[in-house]
């Protein structure tokens, strides 16, 4: 028999165990088990959870203080196929009321995808989560005339970022000070491993940012694409992480980004997916 109740901060250890079970089954974003992200996703404005014999088997959080409303839900792998996901989704829709509803999943599964699409949600975003075992490092020769140096949080770095991504579909240019400030304020930002690549004339032609053991962003300006600049930056970062004692490196890449093939050639392996789904009230 299941017991249903709201969630609170005291349930964070049980939520962590539930997220770990889902990640072990489905893969996805390993950072999902970190307390700040778990709180943001599941301890939202309204919560509902199912317990069995003292164990948390399903949970959902709904945030109603913004537009669209947001929701994240989890069902333990051992309890799937019994209608719990559908019940959580129906409850989330009731809490959202007449507002559009955005579903976030950091541990994607085919079963959840089928449920969401059957209920009228459209998948709007999907990323692959990729992992690299740093016991095997790729060899990438430096492109002719290209040098690298540690990144500096300045206007040049932002301009290199902007030039690298401005032609990507859906790109929205952030405020430069905000973008640089977010990097500088992140306790995990690694300026020693983050890099800027320069061409023969000294102009920046690419960049890479590292946060903890994550390759957070890699970009190459249009005129220098196809010359191994991105591959060289990634290989340098992997070697830097390995020399620093890291055993693995991670990155996320949009499922329609051709760079995913490059990362896999460099030794990254699929470790799950994360996605977003939207249902609009017309």
- Specify if 122 maps to a domain: yes
**pLDDT tens across 82-97, in order?**
999 999 999 999 999 9
Residue 147 and residue 68 share a domain: no
Residue 170 has pLDDT above 90, yes or no: no
Of the chain, the percentage scoring pLDDT greater than 90 comes to 95
| Half-sphere exposure of residue 62: CA atoms within 13 angstroms, side-chain side | 21
Task: Report residue 256's pLDDT band, with 50, 70 and 90 as the boundaries.
Answer: confident
pTM here?
A: 0.93
Residue 119 and residue 50 share a domain: yes
Task: Report residue 196's pLDDT band, with 50, 70 and 90 as the boundaries.
Answer: very high
Residue 150 and residue 75 share a domain: no
Q: State the CATH number of the domain containing residue 177.
A: 3.40.630.30
Range of the domain at 218: 136-246
Distance CA 220, CA 224 (A): 6
- Specify if 96 maps to a domain: yes
Check residue 204 and give its pLDDT: 98
Q: Rounded to an integer, what is the distance from CA 280 to the centroid of its chain?
A: 23
Q: Rounded to an integer, what is the distance from CA 126 to the centroid of its chain?
A: 9
54: left (phi over 0), alpha (psi -120 to 50) or beta: left
Between 171 and 213, whose confidence is greater? 213
Check residue 168 and give its pLDDT: 86
Residue 70 has pLDDT above 80, yes or no: yes
Task: Report residue 66's pLDDT band, with 50, 70 and 90 as the boundaries.
Answer: confident
- Specify if 263 maps to a domain: no
- Specify if 255 maps to a domain: no
Check residue 213 and give its pLDDT: 97
Specify the range with the lowest mean pLDDT, choosing from 63-67, 143-147, 196-200.
Answer: 63-67
Check residue 173 and give its pLDDT: 94
Residue 112 and residue 89 share a domain: yes
For residue 230, the surrounding DSSP H or E stretch is helix 229-243
**What's the structural domain count of the chain?**
2
Can you tell me the mean pLDDT for 225-240? 97
Mean pLDDT value across the chain: 96
Check residue 44 and give its pLDDT: 95
The per-residue b/e assignment along 110-140, b for 16 or more CB within 10 angstroms, e otherwise, is: eebbebbeeeebebeebbbbbbbebeebeeb
Of the chain, the percentage scoring pLDDT greater than 70 comes to 100
**pLDDT tens across 112-125, in order?**
999 999 999 999 99
Check residue 258 and give its pLDDT: 87
Residue 193 and residue 148 share a domain: yes
- Specify if 225 maps to a domain: yes
């Amino acid at each position: 028999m299941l017991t249903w109740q709201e969630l609170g901060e005291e349930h964070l250890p049980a939520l962590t165990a539930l997220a770990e079970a889902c990640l072990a089954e489905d893969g996805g974003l390993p950072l999902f088990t970190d307390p700040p992200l778990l709180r943001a996703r599941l301890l939202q404005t309204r919560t509902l959870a199912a317990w069995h014999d003292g164990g948390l088997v399903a949970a959902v959080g709904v945030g109603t203080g913004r537009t669209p409303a947001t929701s994240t839900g989890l069902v333990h792998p051992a309890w799937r196929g019994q209608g719990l996901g559908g019940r959580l989704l129906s409850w989330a829709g009731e809490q959202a009321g007449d507002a559009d509803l955005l579903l976030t999943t950091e541990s994607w599964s085919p079963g959840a995808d089928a449920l969401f699409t059957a209920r009228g949600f459209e998948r709007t975003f999907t990323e692959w989560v990729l992992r690299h075992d740093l016991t095997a490092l790729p060899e990438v020769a430096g492109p002719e005339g290209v040098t690298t140096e540690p990144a500096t949080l300045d206007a040049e770095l932002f301009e290199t970022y902007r030039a690298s991504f401005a032609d990507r579909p859906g790109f929205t240019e952030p405020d430069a000070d905000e973008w640089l400030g977010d990097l500088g304020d992140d306790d995990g930002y690694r300026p020693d491993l983050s890099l800027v690549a320069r061409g023969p004339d000294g102009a920046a032609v690419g960049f890479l940012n590292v946060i903890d053991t994550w390759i957070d962003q890699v970009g190459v300006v249009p005129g220098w694409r196809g010359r191994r600049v991105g591959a060289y930056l990634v290989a340098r970062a992997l070697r830097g992480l390995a020399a620093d004692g890291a055993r693995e490196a991670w990155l996320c890449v949009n499922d329609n980004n051709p760079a995913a093939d490059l990362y896999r050639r460099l030794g990254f392996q699929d470790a799950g997916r994360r996605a977003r789904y939207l249902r609009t009230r017309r």
